[in-house]
Structure 1
Amino acid sequence: MVKMLARLVAVLMLVPAVLLAAPDMVLKDIDGKSRNVNEFIGKGQWTVVAIWSVDCPICRRELYQMAFLHDANRKKDATVLGISIDGMDDLKRVVEFIDEHALSFPNLIGSAKDAAELGTGRLFGTPTYYIFSPDGRLLGQRVGAQSQEQIEDLIGQLKRSSGG
């Protein structure tokens, strides 16, 4: 059963989501302000949406990589948006996580249901990375640990395959 599940996850990590537009979704930022995810997606840059949780061990180990990606590319062609699925009830821990891991990209707070709706309708775990094209289409998805280089390589592949 574990091997079958591992194979399913491996396959899902390789299959890009195809041509889904980012939904109109309003979440809260860490100041409690309502923000639409479309304020960040489809603005002429590739957008990596990093879905994370304060209790996720992989997120604790790896999410700083997305801060590196954001800082290296935000003035060029790619940016990162974080979405914590911990909810506003856990705001203090979310803010501590953001500070502790020096997450330089904007972060919103929602739920696992919100994260699933933003992507392909199902959240397989954290971290999950959704890759949106500059015009706001969901073109790729990865689940699990990803380095800055892996996400940059994926964006490069998606650029070549989508003509952009």
Structure 2
Amino acid sequence: MKKLIFYFLIALLPLSASATAPDLNLKDMSGKAHQLSEYIGNGQWTVVVMWANDCHVCNAEIEGIDMFHEEHKDKNARILGVSIDGWDKIALARDFVKRHDLSFPNLIVEPDMKYIEKFGGGDFVGTPTFYIYTPEGEIVASQAGGVPMNIIEDFIKNYKKK
């Protein structure tokens, strides 16, 4: 199963290998404005995780995602969480971050598919969705659904620029 997921990530490589991260305006959980470029393309791999407070898979896997961030943030990779709950559900999004004691930055967007789809340059299926950006800010893979973090770790380690 792990190899299947890994190969699925690789299969998506050609679809988006040349796309760079969009410079979107987002807000953090306190309402402060941020640019996506603050987090992507700064010499480290960035894994963007789109989540929702009521997503069962997100709730089940988020602690492993946080462990990945803690292990890699000072080395070669980091996590950026993006809640698609929107401002109407900001209290629920904040509770999710607090309940899971997340150490990585989390931003929030409105649940507008036209906006959300700009992260990965294509259709958004649901949460969780992972977008993997190179240290130069190019999106090279995306995956909807749960992905064990060791698969993402292997992908980053074995990635070869085309």
Cα distance, 1:20 vs. partner?
0.8
Structure 1 unaligned regions, length at least 5: 1-9
8 A Cα contact 1:82 1:108, kept in partner: yes
User: Which residues in structure 2 correspond to 1:1-164 (within 5 Å)?
Assistant: 14-16=11-13, 17-112=16-111, 113=113, 114-158=115-159, 161-162=160-161
- Specify the SS of the correspondent of 2:118: helix
Which moves more between the two structures, 15-24 or 36-45? 15-24
- Specify the SS of the correspondent of 1:162: coil
The one-character-per-residue Cα deviations of 1:15-53 (angstroms, maximum 9, x if unpaired) are 223221011100110010011111000000000000001
Letter in 1 for 2:26: L
Aligned-residue identity in percent: 38
Q: Distance in 2 between matches of 1:121 and 1:142?
A: 11
Q: Distance in 1 between matches of 2:42 and 2:88?
A: 30
Cα distance, 1:111 vs. partner?
3.1
Cα distance, 1:120 vs. partner?
2.1
Runs of 4+ aligned structure 1 residues displaced above 3 Å come to 10-14
Which moves more between the two structures, 72-81 or 146-155? 146-155
Q: Distance in 1 between matches of 2:54 and 2:118?
A: 21
8 A Cα contact 2:87 2:110, kept in partner: no
Structure 2 unaligned regions, length at least 5: 1-6
Letter in 2 for 1:15: L
Q: Distance in 1 between matches of 2:9 and 2:87?
A: 30
TM-score, length of structure 1 as denominator length: 0.86
Cα RMSD (Å): 1.8
State the match for 1:7 in structure 2.
Answer: none
8 A Cα contact 2:9 2:141, kept in partner: no
The count of aligned residue pairs is 152
The one-character-per-residue Cα deviations of 1:78-124 (angstroms, maximum 9, x if unpaired) are 00100000111111000100111121100000034232111122111
TM-score, length of structure 2 as denominator length: 0.87
